[in-house]
Structures are given as structure tokens and as C-alpha cells.
Amino acid sequence: MTERPGPDLTRLRERAVAVLREPFLHFVVLGLLIFAFNAWRGAIGDPSDRRIVVSQAEVQRLVGQWMQTWRRPPTPGEVDALIRDHVKEEVYYREALHLGLDRNDEVVRRRMRAKMEFLAVSQLEQQTPADATLQAWLDSHAARYAQGTRYSLDQVYVAARPGDGKAAERAAATLHRLAGGADWHRAGDPLDAPAHVDAADAAALTATFGPDFAEAISSLPVGTWSGPVRSGLGLHLVRLRQVQPGHPPRLAEVRQTVENDWRAATLARRETDGYQALLNAYDVRIEQPR
């Protein structure tokens, strides 16, 4: 007569089967198998890759983050928990890299790109430019900061509503017609704003068209149609007829504005130069779709 297993043995078997069906266990086993295979073929030859060192500086960083969140120092038990969680995160991170989970992940790619872009310009963000640097910037962009400068211009409006992907194309087509001598009075869309402006300063242009329009005007060439220039109303094609220069300000009067502009332009240039230097080390081949 065959003996049936007791209830304790039955429960033990059911628990074992349930554990073996856990996806996380499969993940861990797969990771161990991959690690064993890589170790066998010599892919993991650096012992330091399997060593995790939690330095005193790292502990201080963890404690600092805790204090920023909870506004109090952690207890010894909480510090131990922080360290254990850090080690757990490091273990999972390294094993994820070994499994190649960082590949073909758009979120990871974007985060890593953002970090590389930050590294390209991070030093500049902490740098305080010398007065000579800012004065040179002010001198080379005098029209932008001149006080009392007045502009005479003509503008053709091109309506650009939210979600209108064709506005830029319509503006480019209109600009092409204006450059060919078309009557600008009949071009563009109707707008309850003057198409002809005489001797208006930056404040007047800002009041009518908005600050973006007023800022862009200072960099336009005189005598030709150009644009489009964006405003809060839409897009504008502008012919700057005359510029009456105002008096240039002293650096002390506009230092913060000049520094902000210099920093933004320098950051953009350094990021572009840094990327180009990296790109030059690659052989990029683009296969055209068939």
C-alpha cells in the first residue's frame, strides 16, 4: 500500500513549486548564468568590477540627501538602511549593465545625453566673467543694449495659431514674394496693429508686438525684408527702414543683462564645439531608405 505524503510535506512541495515559478527568481538565475558564462570565457577579468566600496564621502552624500528631504539628521539605524539601499542599487545597476539592459532604451539614452551635454558646459555655469569679457560683448552688441534707439520699419503679418504646422511655410513663401518685389501692402494676413512704424523705441515695440519682437529687431539688417520674427501675435516679416542709434550704456548699468546674454551664447557655443569634437572621432554612415 502506497503511503500518501503528509500535509506538511504537501505544503512544502507547493511552496517550492510557487517559488520556482517566481519571475524574479528566473531573472536572478539568468543573471548568474550569464555571469558564469562571461567569467568562463574571460569576459569578466577585472576583480574590481565585483567590488563595491562605500566611502565616507558617499555616506556623507547619502546623509546630506536625507537631511534635505526630512529636515533632520538620520538615526544610526536609518544610516545603515541608506547604505544597504545604496549597495542594493549598485548591485542591480551593475548586473543590469552586464545583462545589457541599458541598450536600446530611449529613456536611458536621453538621460545619458543630457548628462554629456551638462558636462560640456558645467564649468562655465560656475564661472564669473571678467569685466573685460563683458565689456567686449557689450561693445560687439552695442545696438542691443543702446538706450533710446529708435526703429522705423514695415511689417507683414502671418497668422500662426497653436498647432498650425504650415505657418512657417506660408511665411517663407511670402518672404520669397516680397524679395521678388511683390506689393507688401497686399501680402500677409490682416492684423489690428500698425504695418508701418516710425521712430519707435524698444518700449513702444514691446507694448505693440511683445518683448520677443522688440529684442529680435535689433539684429535685423536694414533695407531688406527678413524674418520671420515671432511675437505673441504670430509671425512677422520685417523690413527695417532706419535705425536711429541711442546712447550706449555703461557696463555697470546693464551688467546682469549682458552677463546673462554672454553666458547663454557661450554655453550654446561650447556645447556645439564639444559635440563637434566628439563627432569628429566617429565614422558616421547614413544608409538611405529604399
**Residue 234, beta-bridge partner list:** 159
d(CA 225, CA 180): 10
d(CA 97, CA 171): 49
> From the CA atom positions of the chain, what is the Rg in Å?
32
CB of 208 closer than 8 Å to CB of 194 = yes
pLDDT at 6 over 60: no
pLDDT band at 4; cut points 50, 70, 90: low
Among 80-84, 116-120, 263-267, the range of highest mean pLDDT: 80-84
* CB contact burial 87-103 (16+ within 10 A = b; e otherwise): eeeeeeeebeeeeeeee
Q: What integer pLDDT is reported at residue 59 of this predicted model? A: 92
Taking Cα atoms as reference points, which of 260, 244, 237, 119 lies closest to residue 189?
A: 237
Domain definitions of the chain by residue range: 15-43, 44-122, 148-244
Q: What integer pLDDT is reported at residue 268 of this predicted model? A: 84
Is CATH 3.10.50.40 what the domain over 148-244 is classified as, yes or no? yes
Instruction: Enter the pTM of the model.
Output: 0.45
* Higher pLDDT among residues 23 and 49, named by residue: 49
pLDDT at 271 over 50: yes
Q: What integer pLDDT is reported at residue 45 of this predicted model? A: 47
* Higher pLDDT among residues 25 and 260, named by residue: 260
Predicted confidence (pLDDT) per residue in 36-51, tens digit: 555 554 445 455 567 8
Range 285-290, long-range pairs (CB < 8 A, 24+ positions): none
* Higher pLDDT among residues 167 and 119, named by residue: 167
pLDDT band at 76; cut points 50, 70, 90: very high
Residue type, 255: R
Taking Cα atoms as reference points, which of 187, 256, 224 lies closest to residue 195?
A: 187
* Higher pLDDT among residues 97 and 29, named by residue: 97
Predicted confidence (pLDDT) per residue in 143-169, tens digit: 778 778 899 999 999 887 766 678 888
pLDDT at 16 over 80: no
Write down the mean pLDDT value for the chain: 81
CB of 267 closer than 8 Å to CB of 255 = no
DSSP labels, 173-192: HHHHHHHTT--GGGSS---S
